[in-house]
Amino acid sequence: MASLLALGGCTDSGSAGTDELADASESKGATGSMDSSEGLESSEASSASDSSSSTNSTSATSESTDGSETGMTCSYPKGAVEPMALGEVLTPYSWTTAIHADGTTTSLDLFYAPCDTDEVIDWSIHEILVFISLPAW
């Protein structure tokens, strides 16, 4: 289990401070579509302004097989680079407006994808993200 979490950027590292939590909440709340602080009530997140050294993390409490609680921290993968490059971590870009084909309109913040902590978007059902970038002309 731990090795799988590590692959996903999930480690047993310590949690981030409340100032950083505020940063993350501010980022998500900018859309006005939700109060992200509710979604982070049992977690803490940080958002570094320099994406190349991003250390965003979200703490979560999981239950081990023996029923005891274990503190785990799921983090956005470190090492994002600009400009984006093959074989490198993508910057946790965000958009204040995203429209799904089913009509759902919300903000979309990649920061929440790896750990599936978005309040609206259920990232857990997708193991892969495919970005198709195109101009209209």
Partner 1 sequence: MQVEQQILDAGAEIIWVLETDSFLQPGTAQGCRDLVDSFGSTHGWCVGDGDTHPVPTTFDNSPFSIGRGFDIIVPRETMVIEYATNHGTPGGNENITGEELLAQIQLIADSLP
Can you give the binding site for partner 1, defined by CB under 8 A? 4, 7-9, 27, 49, 51, 76-77, 80, 83-101, 105, 108, 110, 113-114, 121, 123, 125-137
Closer residue to partner 1 (CB): 29 or 77: 77
Q: HSE on the CB side for 46, CA within 13 Å?
A: 21
Q: Select 17 or 79, whichever has its Cβ closest to partner 1.
A: 79
Q: Nearest to residue 60, comparing CAs of 26, 15, 29?
A: 15
| Identity of the amino acid at 125 | I
Shortest reach from residue 53's CB to partner 1, in Å: 14
- Cβ proximity to partner 1: between 69 and 136 the closer is 136
Backbone φ/ψ region at 103: left (φ over 0), alpha (ψ -120 to 50), beta: left
